[in-house]
Each structure stands twice: as C-alpha cells, then as structure tokens.
Amino acid sequence: MSALELQVEALHKQFPVGNALVSRGRIHAVDDVTFSLRPGTITALVGESGSGKSTVARLLVRLYPPTSGQIVFGGQDVARAKSRREILKYRSQVQMIFQDPFASLNPARTIRHHLERPLRIHEIVPRNRIDERVDELLETVGLVPPEKIAKKYPHELSGGQRQRVNVARALAMEPRLLILDEAVSALDKSVEAQVLNLLRELKARLALTFIFISHDLSVVRFISDRVLVMYLGKVVEIGPVDRIYDEPRHPYTKALLASRPSMDPKRRRHAPPLTGDPPSPIDPPSGCRFRTRCALAEGVCATREPALAEQSEGHFAACLAATPGSGHSAAAA
C-alpha cells in the first residue's frame, strides 16, 4: 500500500442548467478541489448544504464522472476510467454508505439476500462459504445472533440495525476506503453513539480509511483525524481536527464552529455568527467566494482568489487575511 491511500487533484464538476435547446449556464458544484488521504485515517468533510460535500463523495465513487481533475487510487487515475470493468473494480475497493438506511435496502428481500448478493456477484468467497461469511459480517457489526438477523426483512429492524446492515454489506467487498454521507444523522443520539463507536473499532481492526460527511460538528470532532471545510464548491480550510477546532483561520470555519449550540447560559449567542445566503453556484462571486458574507472582506477579496496557504504544519486555509503579502490589511506584510 502506498503512503497515500487516495490523491485528489484539481477536481471539478459542473452540471449544465437548461436543456439541449436552451442553456442557462452551468452549476459549479465542485471547483478545483485538492486533498489526499493517508491509510487508516478519518477525514471529515463539513460545510453548509450546497457546499459540494456530497458531490465530492459521488465523484470519488464514480457515480458522477468528473468534468476534469484526477482521482489517483492505487497508483491509477480512476477519474479517467471509462470501461464498466475498470469502474466496478475500483468500486469494490471504495464503498459508500448513505444517509437513509431504509432507502438503501430492498424491503422485499431478507438481510441474508442483501449480504449474499455482492459475495456471489464478485465471487469474493467460494460458494460453499457464503453463508458462513454472511454470519461473520453480521457478527462484525454487532448483529447477533446472525442466523436470526439474516432471516429478517428491513422493516423488522431498527434504524440503527439497518445502518449496521449497510456497513456489513460495504465490508463484504473487503474495501480499503469507506465513504459515509451523513450516515448517522438519521439515527437517535444513543444509537448514533453506538454506530460511531463501531466505525472507530472497524477502522482500527480492519485498517480502513474513512471519509466522513456530516453537519454535526460535535460528531466530527469525536470521530475524525482531519477536517476539510468546503464552501460553494471550494476547499477553504483543511487540517488536523484539533487545530481546526482550536485555531481556525478561515472566517467561514470560525462561523461554523460558532454556530454550535452552547450548554453554558453565559456563553449563548444572541446574534447569528453568519448571515445571508450562499451565492448562486451558477454565477459565483469573483475572487473569494465567501466575501459576500464575510466581515473581513476588502476590495482585494473581489479581485484576487485566495489559494490554500499553509498556516502551520499540515494546516491550510484559503483566506487573504491569513496569507502574508496578500494585500489584505489584516495580513502580515
């Protein structure tokens, strides 16, 4: 295994608006996204709805073809893969778990059927070992006794149990990378905690790498090693989780963290940390995309697009006010 599990370079995704006769522009859903994943780590993607988090996830599993850019996995650029065989081979190593555990399962099929199917299609184990492997997968995710759970239908399980089934089905492919798109947000808090602990245990036991997408910043701090903050299709800050939470450098990151509810009555906010709506992704602002909602915005923010600049080791932010020599009055000379 290489030092990097996954390398994403200058990834773009645009969706046309309109029809074949009348074009109304293009949605800039993901714009010049670059990051890397190291084996055995959990990287969280955070940001408001519409920031591009889920689109990045779907690009990584090739549910969407990228407009441009590279997705290097195992030394190969899978962004260029076009044949069904190449894409299926890649997807066997990169599995995705979605938000709604019930919608991800066929209500007319038993749990055993859901776990058997990938094992049979991809011939992961000999046919005479499929039943045994199904039981092993159910036990791995804490669904016991497996022979009883396997006979049930999705509607007979709780939300937490159904999500464990989805995790087991993803593990059936023996992947190296799991992408979880709001995978615990539909669960009760007590059940959510159990699933989060399960994910951490699986990461350690199976040496998995995770991309974890969530709106819950408390959950993100609990489970992740690194955090990638997105705004309007672009990465605005990335770094180790403790540094992002304790020393955020981008105004948008600071606003997200300030929006968390406080349990201390003396520290509750009365004014929102962030006002206004994100601009249209069809016609994003020039320069810094956050400038239309940023209290630090100056004239230079409209004319110069900030690059991700290193703030400290492994910690990068795309803000002119935090970049020395950028021309912003708050920046060092």
Kindly report, residue by residue over 48-88, the tens digit of the pLDDT.
999 999 999 999 999 999 999 999 998 899 999 889 889 98
Q: What are phi and psi of 280, to 5 degrees?
A: -70, 130
Please give the pLDDT value at position 108. Answer: 97
**Six token digits for residue 91:** 């997807």
Question: Is residue 80 in a domain?
Answer: yes
Residue pair 218/269 in contact (Cβ under 8 Å)? The answer is no
Please give the pLDDT value at position 2. Answer: 47
DSSP label at residue 270: S
Q: Is the pTM of this model over 0.85?
A: yes
Please give the pLDDT value at position 22. Answer: 74
Q: Which residue has the tokens 């293009």?
A: 26
Q: At what angle do helices 111-121 and 130-140 cross, to 10 degrees?
A: 120
Residue pair 244/253 in contact (Cβ under 8 Å)? The answer is yes
For residue 305, count other CB atoms closer than 10 A to its CB: 15
Percent share of the chain, pLDDT over 70: 98
Question: Is residue 154 in a domain?
Answer: no
Question: Is residue 117 in a domain?
Answer: no
Neighbouring residues of 123: CB distance < 8 A, sequence distance ≥ 6: none
| 239 confidence band (pLDDT: 50, 70, 90) | very high
| Residue 1 pLDDT exceeds 60 | no
Neighbouring residues of 180: CB distance < 8 A, sequence distance ≥ 6: 96, 97, 199, 210, 211, 212, 213
| CA 88 vs CA 2, 118, 169, 227: distances in Å | 21, 12, 16, 28
Question: Is residue 224 in a domain?
Answer: yes
Gap between the Cα atoms of 241 and 243, Å rounded: 6
Average pLDDT, the chain: 93
| CA dihedral for 119, 120, 126, 130, sign (positive or negative) | positive
Question: Is residue 331 in a domain?
Answer: no
| Domain count within the chain | 1
Question: Is residue 252 in a domain?
Answer: yes
Task: Dump pLDDT digits (tens) for 199-238.
Answer: 999 999 999 999 999 999 999 999 999 999 999 999 999 9
Q: Which domain holds residue 82?
A: 6-93+175-322
The domain that contains 208 carries what CATH number?
Answer: 3.40.50.300
Gap between the Cα atoms of 162 and 222, Å rounded: 23
Question: Is residue 262 in a domain?
Answer: yes
For residue 274, count other CB atoms closer than 10 A to its CB: 17
| Residue 258 pLDDT exceeds 60 | yes
| Residue 170 pLDDT exceeds 90 | yes
Please provide the DSSP assignment of 275-329 as one string: -SPPPPTTSPPSS-TTGGG-TT--HHHHH-PPP-EEEETTEEE--GGGSTTSS-T
Closest to 171 in 3D by CA, of 242, 103, 94, 112: 94
Question: Is residue 237 in a domain?
Answer: yes
